[in-house]
Amino acid sequence: MPENAKLDVKTYVSESEGRKTMIFQGKYTAPPPAPHGHEYFPGVGYYKFYPESTAKFDKAMDTCRNDGAHLAILNSEAEMKVLKSIFARHPKTGYERWDGGEPYNYNGNDHCGAMTKSGLLNDHSCETIFNMPFLCEYDPFLGKNEVNEIQ
């Protein structure tokens, strides 16, 4: 059985006319398969990290779309912990916390996130963001058109 799968079995016993009948009812649950290279984190989702990338924002977005995914969006504390664990495996990029004074949202145009070389988080304009590693997030419940709408 795959590591991420779950099997629940219920047993029922009935008796009629001196005969016992045992009924087994099972439910097998497994996550949908992930696109190539995406890692599954139970209860959170699928992610693929491009640690050595030199892609600008638009190229990173296209790379994720080509995988049927989108650039990672933090939606919960659980997701933040998953992303932190991914970054911890790649100390070159690091992950700690917001850099001093961030997020600043300069002129109301800083809608993309990045990590500084010191490992601190910073917000940037999506048009001027420089080359850096990125994470793609795959949601098996979104259709391809919905992925395009996210970005």
Read off the pLDDT of residues 56-80 as tens digits, 9 standing for 90 and up: 778 888 889 888 898 888 778 888 7
In a domain, 23, yes or no: no
In a domain, 7, yes or no: no
Say what the pLDDT of residue 108 is.
76
Say whether pLDDT at 1 is over 60: no
Say whether pLDDT at 145 is over 50: no
Say what the pLDDT of residue 48 is.
92
Position with higher pLDDT, 14 vs 128: 14
In a domain, 99, yes or no: yes
Q: If you average pLDDT over residues 5-25, what whole number do you get?
A: 88
| Count of domains observed in the chain | 1
- Contacts for 57-61: CB closer than 8 Å, 24+ residues apart: 57/112, 57/126, 57/127, 57/129, 60/134, 61/151
CATH classification of the domain holding 67:
3.10.100.10
Instruction: Give exposure, 56-88, as e/b (b: 16+ Cβ within 10 Å).
Output: bbeebbebbbebbbbbbeeeeeebeebbeebbe
Q: What is the pTM of this model?
A: 0.58
Say what the pLDDT of residue 127 is.
66
Domain with 123, as residue range(s), is 32-150
pLDDT in tens, 108-137: 776 666 666 555 677 767 666 556 678 899
In a domain, 74, yes or no: yes
As a whole-number percent, the residues of the chain with pLDDT over 90 amount to 5
Measured between alpha carbons, how far is 80 from 102 in angstroms, rounded to an integer? 17
